[in-house]
Amino acid sequence: MGATDFSEHEAPVRGRGSALALLLGADVAVQFGSAAAALLIPRVGVWGVLVLRLTVSAVLLLVLCRPTLRGRASGDWAVAGLLGLTLCAWNSCFYLAILRMPLGPTVTLELLGPLTLTLLGSRRAADPLWALLALVGVFLLGKDGFSGLAPTGVVFALCAGALWACYIRLSARTGARFERLDGLAVAMTVAATASVPVSLAFGRVTLPEPGDVGLVLAVAVLSSVVPTAAELIALRTIAPVVFSVLMSLAPPAAALAGLLVLGQSLGLVQWLAMALVVVACGGALLTSRQDRRR
């Protein structure tokens, strides 16, 4: 009896630990992917990066996963298709926002989407507390760039946040309906296809030079394939409301990377902000584990 209880409790703990490791790894990958994208944007433009990133990601996932497409219900296709359209729309709104205002405020406003998902979708009394605590921490990290924001940029950032919340829900459903990463491969193909007319409508798409192939691959793998795959797998273990709080780790990860890699100094307020986010994420995971043990 005692051994059975122990195994029942330990499996979710190990699952959540693996999920957290996946998300932290995804955050690191995104930071390097952003650095590669910064080098690629002057060559192909913002919209060229979007199309190339999603297209190369789709091709890589299709080749690596070789998804089984026969025998799928119409509901499976609908969920994967919606995930793909949401991915395209989310990325497009994010790019439209950062073209109009700094990255820090954009990410902070964008995080309102996942954190609102926690506030509205939680059944535990503690989750809104963790979401608000994380929001305060992220706001403190980006507070210096909030003056004089372009209204259209704010609108696009908020739209990106709402689409991010939709992405979390749809990613969880796609992971539940498809084996391995088959659903993600289908969704990324839809996203890549949709990105072409969207990019042509808002800007222009420039093909990369042969010497830029390595950068394109780096952006696709680090900014799309690794994060979306890690998040889909993590959502098979942890609830979307907890996952949404964990998304607030991205800004502190970026600030810490700036400290360690670029030698950027951090003030007392920034250290406090990162501490708040870490406490919020730890609290969300801890209360989730306690609920499982009841």
Q: In the chain, what are the domain boundaries?
A: 17-293
Q: How far is CA 139 from the centre of its chain?
A: 18
**Lowest mean pLDDT segment, chosen from 112-121, 144-153, 255-264:** 255-264
At 200, the amino acid letter reads L
Q: Count CB neighbours of 263 within 10 A.
A: 7
Q: How far is CA 79 from the centre of its chain?
A: 18
Residue 166's Cβ-side half-sphere holds a number of Cα atoms within 13 Å equal to 19
**Tens-place pLDDT, residues 96-109:** 888 888 776 777 78
**Tens-place pLDDT, residues 129-179:** 777 887 787 777 666 656 667 889 889 989 999 999 999 999 999 999 998
Longest dimension (CA), the chain: 65
pLDDT at 172: 92
Which position has the higher pLDDT, 1 or 28?
Answer: 28
**Tens-place pLDDT, residues 44-75:** 988 999 999 999 999 999 999 888 878 888 89
Q: Which of 279, 166, 288 is nearest to 239 (CA)?
A: 288
Which residues, at least 6 apart from 88, have a Cβ–Cβ distance to it below 8 Å? 54, 190, 191, 192, 194, 195, 198
Task: Report the percentage of the chain scoring pLDDT > 70.
Answer: 80
